[in-house]
Structure 1
Amino acid sequence: MPTLRQLEYLVAVADLQHFGRAAQACNVSQPSLSQQLRALEQRLGVVLIERRASGAELTPIGREISARARRLAIEVQDIRDLARRAGERLVGTVRFGVTPTLGPYLMPSIVAALHREQPDLKMHIREGIPEEQALALSRGALDMLLGPLPIDGVDLEVQPLFRERLFLVAPPDHPLATCPALSLEQLKGARVLSLDTRHHLHRQVAAICAELGMVLLRDYEGTSLDSVHQMAASGIGLAILPELYVRSDVGGRTGVTVLAPDGWRFTRSIAAAWRSGAAYQHSYRTIGERIQAEAGALTG
């Protein structure tokens, strides 16, 4: 019979379509992963993976078997979680994914509060790109994630939590910063900075720019909110920053002014997600509610 580990390797290759990245995701060497997958093919008597110089692609039978293997791996993980469960208290370590445009400015107080209320709970916080983390959640590499909507994945339960305002900022000497009554029409042609294209916030900023006739600067994409903030403060362009970042001590308004054009009402929606039917789904929902309350207090 195939081993569970071999099936997990197959699922990783199906998700990432690359032996090296799959091996890294599974915390194993690439030769070991390749050897185990060849052993799996020999045991089953079928070719599961087409090996190419540019990566790996599953055969039709490989795709069907990987889909069933994914469900099996998740069921096994849920069995392990059920075995660890002690009453209604959440114990052990939760692998928690969060977008870097939110986590550092919201999670510290939440983690501290959860530790006071549930001292047996440990939070392994992993920042990452929301789409990549949704994939990791679907295949069981994460237990729960927090990020902007939409969150797309296989068999996920999504809990909308709160809306976060998006602020338009500029250096104090920018012409728009000195306008006594700023309108959306006056933003037309303004140059706007953003994160790189992998981030959900980049796509939202691009949509706002398209709607208002602003110019998204493709040659000055930031690697973090701090870098976007600092470039805006230096005068390269305007920036659209999330409220929790602007209000935070580590982000804030240093070197920039928040503009308030009449009619500016842009927000982003934040949600938590976990696998449908997860053993700890009740506890994950409780964590989501704690995040919702803390975010309300910070943005209210």
Structure 2
Amino acid sequence: MKSLPSLKNLFYLVNLYRERNFNRAAKACFVSQSTLSTGIQNLEEQLGQQLIERDHKSFMFTATGEEVVVRAQQLLTDVTDLMEFTQQQSEPMTGKIRVGCIPTIAPFLLGRLLEHCHEKYPKLELQVKEDTTEQLLLALESGTLDVLILALPVDTGTFHTMKVGVDPFKMIMHSTFCNALSVPVDYKELPDNSIFLLQNEHCITGHAISACQMQNTAKVHPFSATSLHTLVQMVNSKLGATFLPQMAIDAGILNGTGLLVLEPPGEAPYRDIGIAWRQTSSRIRSFRMLGDEINSLLADV
């Protein structure tokens, strides 16, 4: 049989493509820069193709190199799944699971989830990463994450999903601002630029606008926050209102403020909480068990 490329050298190549810097890629692989460079050169010699164009100060991937990276990512993902499959046959919820979570869930769930799983599944190691939905889906596709905790509905492509809970939205405003309005609140009474929301890449903004049926965008303030904590500070200044998920309120995000929690007008708005994983993953049993644990944590609040 013809000699096959080393998985280690493919791993070096993928990390170099991801980091776009030899020094950072070497650190990510826990090797010296010379070891990484030599490994990639050996890979080029074995494949008989130039993967990287180099000069003294910079480098770029060739078209062949970029295609090899794509195929190498899939190979490494498949090998990881194979190893996990053999390890999980005897005992689920063991080993390492890399979990991605969106910022509007992570601060209010991950701490409790890590503590709970550490006590119940001592052989399980959860490694967590917080990022936007778009970035997490890319990481799941590339194999750098195993399972995601997201707000549904969202287009997850071909990934499998499992609903693990429901998170209602509440309307939040300062008592002083509320005194000038009738209760229950009518959106039409709200001044223009008085509703504060997150930046568009945060899925809760889309959920709030659609679920709360806000047709008049003039009510929305042009300022867009990067976190729920920033939203709290904005409405605590008595300038308007916002929407927060119940899990954030239960976690104490409003502590020390003069903010009121009100039911939004119309149908009760909410978001579904779910998990997602690759179809090819061999750890479905562990992911479903993890989903059940998240469900129980959300139900206990």
- TM class by smaller structure: 0.7 to 0.9
Shift of 1:245: 0.3
1:215–1:18: structure 2 CA closer, same or farther, 3 Å change rule?
farther
1:71–1:276: structure 2 CA closer, same or farther, 3 Å change rule?
same
1:252–1:145: structure 2 CA closer, same or farther, 3 Å change rule?
farther
Matches within 5 A, 1:1-300: 1-11=4-14, 18-19=20-21, 23=25, 26-27=28-29, 37=40, 40-48=43-51, 59=63, 61-85=64-88, 87-149=90-152, 150=154, 152=156, 156-175=159-178, 178-187=181-190, 189-205=192-208, 211-219=215-223, 221-251=224-254, 254-298=257-301
Shift of 1:73: 0.6
Q: Residues of 2 paired with 1:49 and 1:130: CA distance?
A: 31
Shift of 1:77: 0.6
Contact 2:169 2:208 in 1 (8 A): no
Q: TM-score, normalised by structure 1?
A: 0.79
Shift of 1:96: 1.5
Contact 1:192 1:214 in 2 (8 A): no
Q: Residues of 2 paired with 1:25 and 1:41: CA distance?
A: 21
The one-character-per-residue Cα deviations of 1:200-229 (angstroms, maximum 9, x if unpaired) are 22444566686343443344x333211211
1:49–1:77: structure 2 CA closer, same or farther, 3 Å change rule?
same
The one-character-per-residue Cα deviations of 1:13-48 (angstroms, maximum 9, x if unpaired) are 66x595589839945699666765565445433354
Q: Residues of 2 paired with 1:247 and 1:6: CA distance?
A: 48
Q: Residues of 2 paired with 1:193 and 1:34: CA distance?
A: 49
Shift of 1:273: 1.4
Shift of 1:12: 5.0
The one-letter code matched in structure 2 to 1:130 is: T
The one-letter code matched in structure 1 to 2:272 is: S
DSSP-derived class of the 1:272 partner: strand
Q: Residues of 1 paired with 2:171 and 2:108: CA distance?
A: 18
Contact 2:192 2:221 in 1 (8 A): no
Which 10-residue stretch deviates more, 124-133 or 27-36? 27-36
Q: Residues of 2 paired with 1:41 and 1:231: CA distance?
A: 55
1:70–1:108: structure 2 CA closer, same or farther, 3 Å change rule?
same
- Number of equivalent positions: 294
DSSP-derived class of the 1:254 partner: coil
The one-letter code matched in structure 2 to 1:240 is: F
Q: CA RMSD in A?
A: 3.7
Identity over the aligned pairs, expressed in percent?
26
Shift of 1:233: 0.5
Q: Residues of 1 paired with 2:203 and 2:96: CA distance?
A: 27
Q: Residues of 2 paired with 1:254 and 1:160: CA distance?
A: 32
The one-character-per-residue Cα deviations of 1:170-225 (angstroms, maximum 9, x if unpaired) are 11111576423322332462422233344222444566686343443344x33321
DSSP-derived class of the 2:169 partner: strand
The one-character-per-residue Cα deviations of 1:82-130 (angstroms, maximum 9, x if unpaired) are 3433623322232222122112212333333333332222222222222
DSSP-derived class of the 1:211 partner: coil
1:251–1:124: structure 2 CA closer, same or farther, 3 Å change rule?
farther
DSSP-derived class of the 1:132 partner: helix
DSSP-derived class of the 2:289 partner: helix
Shift of 1:272: 0.5
